[in-house]
Amino acid sequence: MLHRIIPIFAKTLFDLWDNILVIVVANVIWALSLAPAFLIGQARLPVPYNIFAVAVALAIFSGPTTVGLYALTSEVEREERLELGQFFSGIRQYYQRGWLLILFNLAFCIFAYFNIVFYSSQDFPIKAFSIAWIWVIFFWFLLQIYLWPMAIRLEGKLQVRLLFRNALLATFKYLGFNLILGLLMAIGLIGSVLASLLPTVIVGMSLQAMLSNNMVREVLRQERERANIAAADKTNDN
């Protein structure tokens, strides 16, 4: 498994360094798109109006910029230097998909939060369900690795059912591979939080988007190899 993971990380870091200026500028723009939600959160509006207002601000501003980062970093496979214009063209082309995925994530976060609060306040053994929800949250995090890059790869009108089906298959079919990479990404996110989010503001989200795109390409490569082997075996049997 390490023989697949190490090359993905190495390629991601090389691509990041090779396009560092564009990546930093695009990532800072993404970070600034979070500012409206942060400012609204500091306004101390009464519950649930503050939650609703923050969610709306996140959906409107950060959804398009997030999907723009995934569109930008998906261009690395062309072995060419990235340009900032690719980030903005990704926003223009996929902003609706960015809104949709952000809304799905916000709905899940709110649902998960209230479930954890509810079950953690109960007596044992009902309290154990709060631990189960922590695992659900982690697997939802793993699902994000494939949801965003696959959203920009689906041609035509976005089919939500097909998008989630493909992301779930990629997540659980290569579960060991995804668990290790997802754990490393989660450690990086926690480290960024401990560092006052500075790494996330500078390159963090772009790095995650680039790594996710490389993981999708690796999964697609393995699927093509399996299909070729299956086709060859079928030919030999005939």
The average pLDDT across 112-123 equals 84
Question: Span 125-130, mean pLDDT?
Answer: 81
Supply the mean pLDDT for the chain: 86
Contacts 24+ apart (CB under 8 A), 79-84: 81/18, 81/19, 81/22, 82/19, 82/22, 82/23, 83/22, 84/22, 84/25, 84/26
Q: Residue ranges of the domains in the chain?
A: 2-237
For residue 164, the model assigns a pLDDT of 93
45 pLDDT above the threshold of 70: yes
CA–CA distance, 190 with 184 (Å, rounded to integer): 10
The per-residue pLDDT for range 53-67, each reduced to its tens digit, is 888 888 889 999 999
Q: What is the mean pLDDT of residues 33-42?
A: 87
| pLDDT for 31 | 92
Residue 69 has pLDDT above 70, yes or no: yes
Tell me, what's the pLDDT at 128? 80
